[in-house]
Amino acid sequence: MNKAIIILLILAGTVFTFCKSAQQKENTAKENVVEANQDLKDTKISNANEWLTFKTESQAKIADNEKRIADLKIEMNKPGKTFDGMYRTRIEKLEAKNVELKTKLNNYDGNETEWKTFQSDFNRDMKEIGNNIKDLFR
């Protein structure tokens, strides 16, 4: 019987030792909330900085595409050069796609859940325009 009481006391002592008081649990929960809020703020700042960098770089690429398209139009209209209607149509399509990307970039609302998809699609389209312009310069 004494062994059972001793084991019971040891078990009860262990349980009480490892249990936190309600105040300790509340304080831990508050600390976790503060840390989570700070992480959220840091993430929003990081995302905003990433967006601004992406937007600035994309605007520069779009401007470069506009210049290159203008150069293609000048080349096409030079005397002594003959270009077919297909060449002119390709330039017009490139110009329209570049304007579409510019509008898409300016109208993006910064929705964080769609950010990676937007970024991936936008970069793919931008690369496609760049490759098509290079093909026309050959």
Backbone angles phi, psi at 31, to 5 degrees: -60, -40
Stretches where the chain sits below pLDDT 70 are: 1-2, 8-9, 11-22, 33, 36, 39-40, 42-43, 80-83, 112, 137-138
pLDDT (0 to 100) of residue 93:
93
pLDDT (0 to 100) of residue 102:
93
